[in-house]
Amino acid sequence: MKRKLLTALVSATMVMSLMAGCGSTDTNDAAETAEPAAEAEETTSEEASDDSAASGEKLVVGFAQIGQESGWRDAETASIQEYAAEHSDTVELNFADAQQKQENQIKAIKSFIEQDVDVIGLAPVVETGWDQVFAEAQDAGIPIILLDRTADVDESLYATFIGSDFIEEGKVAADNMATLIGGKGKIVEIEGTVGASAATDRKTGFDEQMAEKYPDIEIVASQTGDFTRAGGKEVMESFLKSNPDIVGVYCHNDDMALGAIEAIKEAGLKPGEDIKTVSVDGVHDIFEAMVNGEANCTVECNPLLGPLFFETAQQLKEGKTVDKWVKSVDGVFTSDVAADVIDSRKY
């Protein structure tokens, strides 16, 4: 019982700190308000317990975020937190930052179950290992929304997946890479977090499309950069040493491409010219790189899922049926249009 009271105040504290950050268009600012759950718990007392999930008045949602590995992730976090702050009269958000660890996400879900929240949201850091905790949520009658990444569990264990088609993103990336390098040459691939659906599926889509449609393009190396800028840079540095004749790099997200671009420049080469880049996400920084001629193409993956997430959670609270996959509609942008669209980008 005591734990329930503590976690209720975490939620209230988080919403208040988010309201302070509301209105900022800088996604990094907003992400800074997302304290790790463990730290937030230390700041709690028992006084705000009356605002708990048990009141039943508001839509009470627990969200277990992966962490802050990329600009895209920051934008998604901001979208969720800003929606909660703007709708604080009807919505209560208990936000946990798992700092890239599945065990922290599982702990957060168990805590949300104890709080008896209405709906649990999760961006699963990896695909496997969720069966038991999802079953616990189901036993407690709490629906789970998978946001942006999928989990490898029986469909009956979650209510819906809201997000993009990562396999399709990989295929579109392959087509654009082929166009950029004239259908031939050696390229490298920098993968996302091992075991994450965004990495597995973007690799499957890209590699299969290359094998099927572009026999003169060879993927000479493929390694994880963990979806981070630092990871992308480190992997690209080592790729450049062992593969001096590559003409392109495909990265599973823009942040890793931005790191790779740094490595290419430090190696005395011109990114965007000597080595073409294709990546996924569509964050503002990659548009800047395209405007500067240092990147060539980004396949969009919309992170602004907050409104749809809460609307879907409300429907589930009301007992309505929702589609098993609410698919995001995304575009693709090349450097020749970057200058025209950069000012209209929302993340």
For ligand AHR, give the closer residue by CB, 70 or 312. Answer: 70
**73 or 171, CB closer to ligand AHR?**
73
Using CB under 6 A as the binding rule, whether residue 72 contacts ligand AHR is answered as yes
Of 14, 33, 68, 69, the residue at the interface with ligand AHR (CB under 6 A) is 69
Task: State the minimum distance, in angstroms, from the CB of residue 221 to ligand AHR.
Answer: 21
Closest separation in Å from C-beta 263 to ligand AHR: 18
Q: Which of 70, 102, 200, 298 binds ligand AHR (CB under 6 A)?
A: 70
Place of tokens 């540095």: 237
Nearer to ligand AHR, 23 or 331 (CB): 331
Q: Are 298 and 280 in contact (CB under 8 A)?
A: yes
In the shown chain, the binding pattern of residues 194 to 233 toward ligand AHR, with x for contact by CB under 6 A and - for none, equals ----x----------------------------x------
- Note whether 276 and 314 are within 8 A (CB): no
- Give min distance, CB of 77 to ligand AHR, in A: 11
Does residue 149 touch ligand AHR according to CB under 6 A? yes
Q: Is 253 a residue that touches ligand AHR (CB under 6 A)? A: yes
Taking the alpha carbons of 79, 80, 83, 88 in that order, is the dihedral positive or negative?
A: negative
In the block, residue with structure tokens 């189901």: 138
Binding residue for ligand AHR, selected from 8, 96, 258, 301, defined by CB under 6 A: 301
What number of CA atoms fall less than 13 Å from residue 129's CA on the CB side?
Answer: 14
Q: For ligand AHR, which is the closer residue by CB, 136 or 330? A: 330
CB environment 169-205: b (16+ within 10 A), e (fewer): bbbbbbbbbbebbeeebbbbbbbbbebbbbbbbbbeb
- Choose the binding region for ligand AHR from 5-13, 68-76, 79-87, 235-243 (rule: CB under 6 A): 68-76
Interface region with ligand AHR, contact rule CB under 6 A, candidates 64-72, 135-143, 242-250, 331-339? 64-72
Tell me how far apart the alpha carbons of residues 284 and 286 are, in angstroms, rounded to a whole number.
6
Residue 180 · residue 298 · CB < 8 Å: no
Q: Does the footprint of ligand AHR cover residue 287 (CB under 6 A)?
A: no
Q: What angle do CA 121, 127, 133 make, to 5 degrees?
A: 55
